[in-house]
Amino acid sequence: MIKNLLALGLPISLMQFGSASMNIMNTVFVSMYSAEALAVLGGGNGVFWFVQVTLMAFLFPLDGLFSQRNAELTEKNKLLTNAIYVAIAIAALAILVLYLFCFFLFSARDQGLSAETFRFIMINGLSLFPLFCFVVVQKYWQSFYCTRVFSILVLISCMVNFLADYILLSPTFGFLMGAEGVAWATVLSRMTVLVLAVGYSLYKVNQLELKGYSVFGYDRALLGKIMRLGLPSSGHSSLEMASVMLLSYFSIVFGPEAMAANQIALTLGMASFPIYWGVAAAASTYIGGVKAVAGAYSSRDVISATYRISLIISVVAASLLWLLSREVTSFFDVPAEAVELTKTLVMLVALYQIADCFQSVTAGVLRGVSIITPVFISNLVCYYVLGLLVFVFCYVGIDMGYISIWIAFCVGVNASAAVNLWLVKRRFLTLVKI
């Protein structure tokens, strides 16, 4: 089972790394273009990524929903149609939210960077239609344990993104579009990967033809189920994104040193997340498939294997960050006065790696049997009730300064992981041994 989970999960992790590499690629090209364009990219990306991740989370429950219908291909293909409807609807909603945000934040009187940031965000918003539809198609084939092909498709889209960045920003071709060029490159790369995914689906028509797939298979009950599961899933992701944004905004109060240390710590902390996400998605797919065939109580082997993989990966990540915290910090150009703070934050990142991993994979396990709302509620309580109490105690009670909010964040992550583990145990009744 461990081998099967890795075979399914690693390509998913590669897809996540590929998506992250496009953001890094865009940043590098824009930084070579001008400081003003980099400021536009930085200002626009914060808003754009929050809206994108929050609304894309509507589609995360599809891991389990598709797998639960492995034995009923007619229902599975009908779910695909309705999931695409939802993807198009939430992409339109995302563009509306982005437009309203930009309208109120950047008025018509604003010039310069504000106007450029507005255009960057709105052009980038167009890429959400192909992105969300691609996510649906990818999760459909993931339920057939087909992920390697899609990791290759994402790699191709990364190459398209690189070429588009080079053409639209390089003086060689004379476009010199700055941050807007990066936005158009994102749209082009995401359109490319969707076209390739649809082309692959048409090539692999055996599953679709067997049960007469139709793009007009509207089903009110299925749409309602996707929305009922998608709403708490979206809330769950928005809470996590908001907590990370709070770390960044709070660092501004303490000046450049805290901002630099915070950025490095967050970068290192998120480096292992694609691996955790791959394991979580694989677990959700297998749990859903087992439920469809043999019932949820046969999922013990899947959960046990998931826990073993998670423990190994997270312990390795935590150990490397803890033992090499000073060496890792030296890779970045950090002001001398911020070195110790950066090292401390990196050690805190190491401390929550195991909890962060188990929080992700247990949420994936629960998604496999469509248990999502309790995870959202536990996140809300752990991050914003317990975390707030810890922050007030550390910041006001014992005056720990900027580190206070990081300690509160770590407590929230660990508490959320503990609650999720309890939810898994309660759902499957018997304790799963590692």
Query: DSSP states of 309-332 as a string?
Result: HHHHHHHHHHHHHHHTHHHHHHTS
Q: Best-predicted range by mean pLDDT among 4-8, 102-106, 128-132, 316-320?
A: 128-132
Q: Are 158 and 21 members of one domain? A: yes
Q: Best-predicted range by mean pLDDT among 213-222, 261-270, 409-418?
A: 409-418
* 385 domain-assigned: yes
Q: Are 341 and 373 members of one domain? A: yes
Q: How long a stretch of residues is the chain?
A: 434
Q: What is the mean pLDDT of residues 130-139?
A: 93
* 153 domain-assigned: yes
* 225 domain-assigned: no
Is 144 or 36 the better-scoring residue by pLDDT? 144
Burial of 382 (0-12, 13-18, 19+ CB in 10 A): buried
Q: Are 188 and 73 members of one domain? A: yes
Q: Are 61 and 144 members of one domain? A: yes
* 223 domain-assigned: no
* 226 domain-assigned: no
What is the total count of domains within the chain?
A: 2
Q: Domain end: 163, 185, 218, which one? A: 218
Is 418 or 370 the better-scoring residue by pLDDT? 418
* 256 domain-assigned: yes
Q: Are 16 and 40 members of one domain? A: yes
pLDDT in tens, 391-408: 999 988 888 888 899 999
Residues 6+ apart with CB under 8 A from 150: 11, 15, 138, 141, 142, 197
pTM for the structure as a whole = 0.82
Q: Are 184 and 315 members of one domain? A: no
In the chain, the percentage of residues whose pLDDT exceeds 90 is 20
Residue 410 pLDDT level (bands cut at 50, 70, 90)? very high
* 224 domain-assigned: no
Torsion 120-52-390-360 (CA) sign: negative
Q: Are 132 and 241 members of one domain? A: no
Q: Are 343 and 368 members of one domain? A: yes
Q: Are 281 and 144 members of one domain? A: no
Residue 221 pLDDT level (bands cut at 50, 70, 90)? confident
* 410 domain-assigned: yes
Q: Domain end: 218, 247, 265, which one? A: 218
Q: How far is CA 152 from CA 56, 155, 353, in A?
A: 21, 5, 28
Q: Are 243 and 138 members of one domain? A: no
Q: What is the mean pLDDT of residues 60-89?
A: 84
pLDDT in tens, 22-51: 776 766 676 666 656 655 565 566 677 788
| Residue 289 structural domain | 232-434
pLDDT in tens, 108-118: 444 555 677 77
pLDDT in tens, 176-210: 777 788 889 989 999 999 999 999 888 876 555 54
Q: Are 200 and 280 members of one domain? A: no
Q: Are 161 and 303 members of one domain? A: no
Q: Domain end: 159, 191, 218, which one? A: 218
Instruction: Tell me what pLDDT residue 382 has.
Output: 93
